With several copies, the nearest count.
Chain A
Amino acid sequence: MAGLQSIMALTKEQIAKRISRELKEGYYVNLGIGIPTLVANYIPEDMNVVLQSENGLLGMGPFPLEGDEDPDLINAGKQTITTVPGSVFFDSAMSFGMIRAGKVDLTVLGAMEVSDKGDIANWKIPGKMVKGMGGAMDLVASAKNIIVAMMHTNPKGESKLLPACTLPLTGAGCVKKIVSDLAVLDVTPDGFKLLERAPGVSVEEIKAKTAGRLIVEGDIPEIEVKKEVGSRR
């Protein structure tokens, strides 16, 4: 497998930047912890996107300036944050209410494993201390549009895109798209459909590192990474 190891895989920032191209004007978006959080850095300046934090906030702003931290104002990752004009607070029942009702247009979250049927596992590793699912199960069960941001393989080089998840599920049949360090893939009824590949990463490498069913049709373009997308954060 080492011979296929790409040195051109996307960085976490580049994954986030690629995901930011899925945003549309007027979207309400929930970003999970980790790479998904970085997506906020790549929202085009002229695009109106409102970030939801499931502990009870619409309109999440950037981290506060040093000394401006407010202990009453945190995000779902328990980080100190700020508001933006038009922000609004609500309780956690309404927060998950709007999630369940499909009012959040896009949810981006990380995963340990995704199956080619769109199942996702990202909360529990048997034998390890289990911290809990937090809001992940609610989000994956309810979101209209879920994009997973993840590494294509685990540190041992094993594929995380599987025919079936080996870990306990967070949700079944819910993932719509994956942006990994190697590729962009849609989850279709017939399996993972390869849409784009990281610059310099071959289709063969992606095939080798995708254990689930993979559909490759026609030429697979490279992910555009060079263009600097305007950041407002």
Chain B
Amino acid sequence: MNKVVAGADEAIKDITDGVTIMLGGFGLCGIPENCIAALVKKGVGNLTCISNNAGVDDFGIGLMLKQKQVKKMISSYVGENAEFERQLLSGELQVELIPQGTLATRCLATGYGMPAIFTPAGVGTEVAEGKEVRQFNGKDYLLELAFEADFALVKAWKGDTQGNLIYKETARNFNPLMAMAGKVTIAEVEILVPEGELDPDAVHTPGIYVHRIFQGTDYEKRIEQRTVRKRN
């Protein structure tokens, strides 16, 4: 079961105009840098992107926005990015904002074969508009549907040739959820190992969810908010 492809260009070769893509990461942490670079190079457009954030002006999904490859963003928090704001205000870009936990759980629902979930997030707010509200044990919940995504692009720390993945620290975030939710899931990893080298108890994403895997290169792993304590 060898799912290894040569690199990002090969991994994304069937991503075409107009498809829906999930991209893992929170802020710039744990984003699929290599896949994004390949999409920018390929110039594929009219994309719907499901991602918690939309990058910054010169990194992450911001690079795709700069090239106007994105038709619609489905996110929980955006706009750390001037070009994003410009396109949004000019009407070039559509944005659908959904609560972060709803975003995560709708990915989980897809990966777990559940067509919809109930969440209290957004009850009594504009997020609830047009949605079914249902009460359980005296509390109101919104019915939220599982996502459909043609491709999921995720970034892991380690992976094996079968597509088993292990994430590092908070770079895990949405990655394992989106890995489960793509019709085709593409994983880029910092360290690719032969099958049998990962601890079977420590794998976060079983390879059954992953269709292609490659060892990424030149990770920048940019820090968005560098906060430190002074050394004495």
Contacts and interface: CB of A to CB of B under 8 A. Distances in A.
Question: Do A and B come into direct contact in the complex, CB within 8 Å?
Answer: yes
Interface residues of B, number: 81
B228 A88 contact: no
Contacts of A97: 105, 111-114, 180
Nearest to A60: B170
B180 A101 contact: yes
B137 interface: no
A169 B161 CA distance: 40
A138 B144 CA distance: 13
Contacts, number: 251
A56 B173 contact: yes
Contact of B124 (A84, A103, A130, A172): A172
A26 interface: yes
A55 B26 contact: yes
Contact of A98 (B1, B76, B85, B206): B206
Q: Give the size category of A's interface with B.
A: 35 or more
Contacts of B180: 97-98, 101
Contact of A86 (B161, B176, B204): B161
22 contacts: A62-B229, A65-B229, A66-B228, A70-B169, A78-B27, A87-B200, A91-B172, A91-B174, A93-B108, A96-B101, A96-B104, A97-B111, A98-B112, A98-B206, A101-B110, A101-B113, A129-B85, A129-B88, A133-B100, A135-B99, A137-B127, A169-B126
Interface in A115-154: 119, 129-138, 141-142
A74 B221 contact: no
Interface stretch (A45-53, A106-114, A183-191, A214-222): A45-53
Interface centre among A48, A83, A85, A94 (most CB of B within 10 A): A94
A93 B104 contact: yes
Interface string B107-132: 11011111000011111111100000
A92 B160 contact: no
Contact of B114 (A84, A100, A172): A100
B226 to A, nearest CB: 6
A93 B114 contact: no
A94 B113 CA distance: 10
B100 A93 contact: no
Contacts of A78: 26-29, 224-225
Interface in B72-124: 75-80, 85, 88-89, 97, 99-105, 107-108, 110-114, 119-124
A28 B28 CA distance: 26
A53 B204 CA distance: 17
Contact of B120 (A100, A129, A135): A100
A92 B27 contact: no
